[in-house]
Structure 1
Amino acid sequence: MDGNMIAESMGMSGISIIFIVYFAVILLIAAAACYWEVRLSREQEWWKGLILPLFAVIIGSIANILAIILLMIYGVNRRKMKKKNELEQMKIKDL
């Protein structure tokens, strides 16, 4: 094996290890959230069980709002670029 093949195989294993660690951390967070939700939902006060679901909705809403804002920015900028290109094409045709 030459050096390039070894470097490529090590690079892929590094990415795989990072993915496995990331996936494990996500699973641990999900498991902890589920455990915490079970404990909170068994409390005497009914509102304590709603803390995590509300938190998830808020985070999801913020992410959705951010995605919508980013798409709007993208659309506005693309429209400006299109108009600019059309003006340049009109100027070229006028000459």
Structure 2
Amino acid sequence: MINPIKLVFCLALFAAVCALEVFLSKRRAWWPGLVLPLCLLPPVLFVLPNVVLNALGVAENSLQKVLSLLMGLLFFAPALVLLAIYWHCRRSGKHREQVEKIKIQDL
């Protein structure tokens, strides 16, 4: 059974990490926003092959294999969320800079 206190704590921790990612992604330099997603990728790259190989070896039917592979791919979700936050913040920052340049040129 899922402990609600642990669930709330994990969600709050992930929300704090997402807020930190937004802060780092909005910096002028491009690299601080990539630190957190790149920190999450190596553990995923070590865990994912193990999960895939165990899923292919242990599961009896194809449905169990597919579900095990999907559970293994869920390890990528936090890294993908942080990369999506980085991409969105950098893109909106570039758009904002272009609007500022146009406003300056109009004056």
TM-score computed with the length of structure 1 as normaliser? 0.48
TM-score computed with the length of structure 2 as normaliser? 0.44
Q: Which has the higher helix share?
A: 1
Question: RCO higher in 1 or 2 (8 Å CA, sep ≥ 6)?
Answer: 2
Mark the structure with the bigger radius of gyration. Answer: 1
